[in-house]
Amino acid sequence: MKAGGDSRESVMRKEIRLSGFGGQGIILAGHIIGKAAAIYDGKNATLTQSYGPESRGGACSAQLIVSDGAISYPHLIKPEILVVMSQEAYHKYRWEIIPGVILLIDEDLVRPNGPLDGVQVFSIPATRLAEEELGRKMVANIVMLGFFAALTDIVSKDALREAVLSSVPKGTEELNLKAFERGYEIGQQRVISSKQQVASTWGHGPC
């Protein structure tokens, strides 16, 4: 402990919202993140979910809290990470996109609008990749999970990978693993690009 510091160790607590429309596997993706955190990474996690008026095609959302400590209140107060896979969901939760938030979007389905100052925005054509490269549009949510793993440090890649394999239907493990790894690969590329942009900004500042 540093002199004059707090003797209590800081507890990691992260709030995450995944949103899209029914049929995209948003709730399953939330379940996989929670399972990865609680079972494979040894953290605490809560998952709540909400649906629009129609379970398939209507807006839906999965809300997660992941923490090293006990979680006394299971609902989101100020989400730090927003994963958005439909324009309707973007508009519905636009008020949560504030400085400091990490925003992950499906770039073919979401067009951000409004001020994004102080927001880290990362995009991936998750649905297009799932349909054109992997041949199954339904694994777009798993592509997004790989992207999420690469761009955040809330849950480890290995934990998410194991949670994917233990959560998807039997016989689809290989397909889903390919989807996860493809999303992770693109996420890593985005991380490198982001770091290069920051380095370029610093390198070209005033003397």
The per-residue pLDDT for 7 is 37
The per-residue pLDDT for 203 is 58
What's the token pair of residue 123?
């995009």
d(CA 26, CA 155): 17
Under 8 Å between Cβ of 35 and 58: no
The per-residue pLDDT for 98 is 95
Whether the pLDDT of residue 207 is over 50: the answer is: no
Task: Give the mean pLDDT of the chain.
Answer: 90
Whether the pLDDT of residue 196 is over 90: the answer is: no
Whether the pLDDT of residue 32 is over 90: the answer is: yes
The per-residue pLDDT for 115 is 82
113-117, 166-170, 183-187: range with lowest mean pLDDT: 113-117
The per-residue pLDDT for 8 is 44
More confident residue, 182 or 199: 182
Backbone angles phi, psi at 29, to 5 degrees: -60, -40
Catalogue the E-assigned strands of 43-127: 44-51, 59-67, 81-84, 102-106, 120-124
d(CA 161, CA 36): 8
In the chain, pLDDT over 90 holds for what percent of residues? 79
Model confidence band, residue 92 (pLDDT cutoffs 50, 70, 90): very high
What's the token pair of residue 172?
């689809």
The per-residue pLDDT for 52 is 66
Mind listing the domains of the chain with CATH numbers? 13-203 (3.40.920.10)
The per-residue pLDDT for 184 is 98
Based on the number of CB atoms within 10 Å of its own CB, is 165 exposed (0-12), middle (13-18) or buried (19 or more)?
Answer: middle
pTM, whole model, 2 decimals?
A: 0.88
